[in-house]
Structure 1
Amino acid sequence: MPYVKISPPTGPLNVFYSISTPLHHDADAIIPGIPTILFIHPVYMPQQIFEAQFSDRHLRQCNLVAYDMRSHGETEGKIGDAKYLPAEDAFHFMEAIGLPACHLFGLSIGCCVALELAARHPDRVLSLTLCSPLSPVESEDVATGRMEVHEEWSNGTLLPGRLIEQVADIVEHVATIEFAIENDAIVGVKQLAFNNEMDDLTSAITESSIAQGQHHWLGTPERSREAYRCVIQWPLERKALTNEELARIKVPTAIIHCDEDYVYPIENAQALATMLEEAGVPVALFEAPGPHYGCVAGAEVVNSVLLDVVSSCYDSSIFSNVSVKAETVGDVLRTPFQERLAKFDYIPQSDPFEIHASDLSDSGLDTELRKVSA
């Protein structure tokens, strides 16, 4: 998993990224001539949130690319006092590693980044799949919840000395670090992302993300300010795209609402679909099982929608000569994230995702994937 240095408007960044191809789980470059999907993660949890997509055999017929955004994961660089332009970060990243026009998959606030990237640089985007999009403006309840989580997290900066860093240097498992910070913050993140219903994978994703997050956001007053910029200021101050901006998007677009998302109800996804339709964007709305970060629990449906959107941009022979020969762990495809997740007790058991778009009946996706009306 390499790094690349970029200099977008917000400021310099050393971006940590991953590429998986049909041939290698941790490749240095994409394979030309097959579709490339770029994954854009939400706040709190960087690229390992996409483990269930990178381990899917059908999606691995494509090049899969993920990166850690500013102030997340292993990427080196912060938001600071500059105006944060995450879509420009993504564009400069694509340019730096030579990506062709990509299919974008955004999760939560990653949907906002994907939409803005498609509007600002329409020639660099081939399709959009938006899973659990946020509302154009955050409600008062959501804003209050985000602030409560941040305040609990920031209490760690008030501990004497550099206790958080000292603890983190001694232990690897975040369960021990939790003794040094307010547990309510961690519960709040789990509640937003997974309705606090955890399994081995979601626990490993959460704990590994928190272990990385403390490097960016905990231990000093400046890190606490950076946390505020990233998880409060950016989500609350972002601006919705205008109808004119949305009209620049001409690519197939799918919106996925997860049916156990209690923070952003289906009416939110329906409103976004209506906005896109009114702007002339070809859009369809689907419903999948799972909570807000539903790309894990709802992976079977989410992956099928994503693959169908990507496939719709090509003729039926696009994958006819693609053979997935990448490394496996048992019968599970290896991903760039499994080594990190293993440190938090995640061991892949089997390959659960057998359904994909080309397996569905000629009657269309509606019968299998609960396509819903906008």
Structure 2
Amino acid sequence: MSTTEQFIKVNDAELCVQSYGDPAEPAILLLHGAGHSLLNWDDEFIGQLVAVGRYVIRYDSRDAGRSTSYPVGAPTYGLSDLAADAAGVLEALGIPAAHVVGMSQGAGVAQLLALDHADRVLSVTLASATPGGPGHWNTDLPAPSDEIQELFANEPPQPNWTDRAAVIDYLVEAERPYSARFDDNGMRELAGRIVDRTVNIAAQLNNPFLISAGDPWRERLAGLRVPALVFHGTDDPMFPIGHGRALAAEITGADFLPLEQTGHEVFPRHTWETVVPAILKHTEPA
């Protein structure tokens, strides 16, 4: 599958952007989660979308992959800046509006993009998400699992960031608690690619978790006026499935699809037979 890669100056950052397929087809913009990069969107998953007539864009957000990075522990941007970046990417590519797919923090960015840059959004697909986005804890919704709360309370020591093998091990173990059916070999291979491609891996695995979520926006979701599709893993330990159900309930007309044996993770392969057709239907030209 051929790709076009370019660096785009957006606001005060330079972002690495990859696009696949025919720009004349409906555009799908993929927004990755905190600590991830564009590589976390599987090449084969993208290929399935492109094969049936979608133009797919993925990019490294700030502090990810090959995009602009900031000193570790001192990011100077917030979630609203990431939403503005997404709008800027579309503008730079000459795309008036796109279907937006976001996972976890990327789903929070997608919500803000649809609320604050509505003219750029045709539809949203939100996965592993919570209403109002990460960073705003909703006390009426289920708390993270005991295992995740224990992990937060006793985070493992960070590795020597210059030791490739140690960083790969760290990445693998960082993902393991969030998965329902963990693919050790697959994650290890991906972790190696991430480490080898990332400009500042310490910044990628720290800074996105430190940024400001800004003002809460849960109460604004009822005013979201684009078609919405919500996916949520039945075994999500970070945002238990009640978060996904609440999110879908608060967006007028949203569809909700639970993903069995799925945790807080980017669409694992066993979900594609559900996810891909649903996204294709959701992004059909009017």
How does the TM-score come out when normalised to structure 2? 0.80
Counterpart selection for 2:54 from 62, 85, 89: 62
Shift in Å, 1:144: 5.9
Provide closer, same or farther for how the CA distance between residues 121 and 57 of structure 1 changes in structure 2, counting only shifts above 3 A.
Answer: closer
2:208 paired with 1:230: yes
Task: Identify the residue that residue 286 of structure 1 maps to in structure 2.
Answer: 257
1:150-176 CA distance string (max 9 Å, x none): x522x53xxxxxxx43x45xxxxxxxx
Does the CA-based 8 Å contact 1:106-1:114 persist in structure 2?
yes
Q: What percentage of aligned pairs have identical amino acids?
A: 19
Amino acid at match of 2:151: G
Relative to structure 1, the CA distance from residue 208 to residue 143 in structure 2 (aligned partners, 3 Å threshold; closer, same or farther) is farther
2 CA distance for matches of 1:144 and 1:5?
A: 40
Distance 1:152 1:239 in 2: 31
Q: Do 1:122 and 1:248's aligned partners in 2 also have CA atoms closer than 8 Å?
A: no
Q: 1:187 aligns with which of 157, 170, 173?
A: 173
Distance 1:102 1:187, change over 3 A: same
**Is 1:145 the equivalent of 2:151?**
yes
- Aligned counterpart, 2:280: 307
The code of the aligned residue for 2:283 comes to V
In 1, are the aligned partners of 2:5 and 2:19 still within 8 Å (CA)? no
Checking the alignment, whether the CA contact within 8 Å between 1:45 and 1:205 is kept in structure 2 is no
Letter in 2 for 1:152: P
Distance between the aligned counterparts of 1:310 and 1:115, measured in 2? 17
Task: Identify the residue that residue 267 of structure 2 maps to in structure 1.
Answer: 295
Q: Deviations over 1:240-296 (max 9, x none)?
A: 3142x32442111010112232332211111112222xxxx3201111232221412
Q: What is residue 216 of structure 1 aligned with on the other side?
A: 200
| Contact residue 70 and residue 76 of structure 2 kept, 8 A | no
Structure with bigger gyration radius: 1
The equivalent residue for 2:140 is none
Q: For structure 2, list consecutive stretches of 5 or more residues without a partner in the other structure.
A: 138-142
Q: Deviations over 1:29-82 (max 9, x none)?
A: x522x2110011112221122224212156641101111111111213338442
> Are 1:44 and 1:209, in contact at CA under 8 Å, matched by a contact in 2?
no
Alignment match of 2:117 (pick from 115, 121, 132) = 121
Alignment match of 2:216 (pick from 240, 248, 256): 240
- Per the TM alignment, residue 201 of structure 1 is displaced from its structure 2 partner at its CA by 3.8
Find the residue that maps to 1:61 and give its secondary structure: coil
Q: Which amino acid aligns with 1:241?
A: W
Does residue 234 of structure 2 align to residue 259 of structure 1?
A: yes
Q: Per the alignment, do residues 102 and 146 of structure 1 end up closer, same or farther by CA in structure 2, a change over 3 Å counting?
A: farther
Residue identity in the other structure for 2:84: E
- Structure 1 vs Structure 2 CA RMSD: 2.9
In structure 1, list runs of 5 or more residues that go unmatched: 22-29, 157-163, 169-176, 315-374
